[in-house]
């Protein structure tokens, strides 16, 4: 029996293959309230802006669906990436930068390959990541929440939580270690650490 996550992958593939509006509506119903929750947390975004950004994100989902492959990314990760890029371009426009020169897709080199270079089996890791995230100590989860949801940098998180930047960095590192993400060996980073 297909899991719920696999159903969402299948929905995107159906939109991509046959422009299936029923599948698109299911995706919309499921994801748009999460997208609104995500986008409304970006600095300077009003509830109306958030809906515009949800709309923009879902239109991109429709347009890009033909290039989606469930072997490369789960539906939620793929949609998250589109929403993140939409937010980046929107925030740059607010800062009167010109995102048309280089938009977020260009910056992340996703033009031809809409999902990052793939090697891991996404669907399997998704379940694992979900379990590991739910087991993180509160203070580590809180830092990740602020970074992902509010788009805060490490320094901004440090300001928000009134913590030294070093503490924020070490919480990120502890969380990554706990989740056993293949990050660079610590030894290589000693010089940078020492200079802080």
Partner 1 sequence: MINRHPESDLLVEYASGSLSVAPCISVTTHLQYCKQCSDSVESLGEIGGELLTTAQAVPVSDELFDRVIASLDSLVEEEPSDEPQRQCSDSISAELPEFVQRLLPDGELDWRRLSPSLKVAPISVGEEEYELALHRIDAGGKAPEHDHLGKEITVVLTGSFSDEEGVYQPGDFLVREAGDTHRPFAARNQECICLSVLEAPIRLTGIKRVLNPFLSFTPS
Q: Is 98 in the site for partner 1 (CB under 8 A)?
A: yes
CA angle 34, 50, 144 (to 5 degrees): 50
Region 117-146 residues binding partner 1, contact defined as CB under 8 A: 117-120, 122, 125-126, 129-130, 133, 144-145
What is the Rg, in whole angstroms, of the alpha carbon atoms belonging to the chain?
18
Q: Give the Å distances, CA to CA, from 25 to 19, 21, 31, 83, 114.
A: 11, 6, 10, 17, 22
- Give the binding-site size for partner 1 (rule: CB under 8 A): 82
> Applying CB under 8 A, which of residues 9, 12, 13, 85 lies at the interface with partner 1?
85
Q: What is the DSSP string of 117-149?
A: ---S-HHHHHHHHHHHHHTS-HHHHHHHHHHHH
Region 100-119 residues binding partner 1, contact defined as CB under 8 A: 101-102, 104, 106-109, 116-119
Q: Is 38 in the site for partner 1 (CB under 8 A)?
A: yes
Q: Is 6 in the site for partner 1 (CB under 8 A)?
A: no
Q: Is 90 in the site for partner 1 (CB under 8 A)?
A: no
Q: Is 73 in the site for partner 1 (CB under 8 A)?
A: yes
């Amino acid at each position: 029996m297909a899991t719920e996550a696999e159903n969402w992958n299948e929905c995107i593939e159906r939109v991509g293959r046959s422009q299936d509006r029923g599948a698109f509506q299911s995706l919309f119903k499921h994801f748009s309230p999460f997208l609104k929750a995500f986008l409304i947390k970006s600095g300077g975004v009003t509830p109306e802006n958030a809906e515009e950004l949800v709309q923009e994100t879902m239109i991109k989902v429709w347009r890009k669906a033909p290039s989606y492959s469930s072997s490369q990314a789960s539906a939620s990760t793929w949609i998250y990436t589109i929403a993140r890029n939409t937010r980046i371009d929107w925030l740059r426009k607010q800062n009167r930068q010109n995102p048309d020169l280089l938009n977020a897709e260009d910056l992340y080199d996703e033009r031809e390959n809409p999902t990052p270079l793939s090697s891991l089996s996404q669907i399997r890791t998704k379940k694992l990541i979900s379990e590991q995230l739910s087991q993180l100590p509160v203070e580590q989860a809180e830092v990740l929440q602020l970074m992902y949801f509010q788009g805060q940098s490490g320094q901004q998180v440090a300001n928000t939580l009134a913590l030294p930047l070093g503490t924020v960095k070490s919480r990120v590192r502890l969380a990554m270690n706990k989740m056993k993400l293949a990050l660079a060996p610590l030894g290589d980073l000693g010089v940078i650490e020492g200079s802080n």
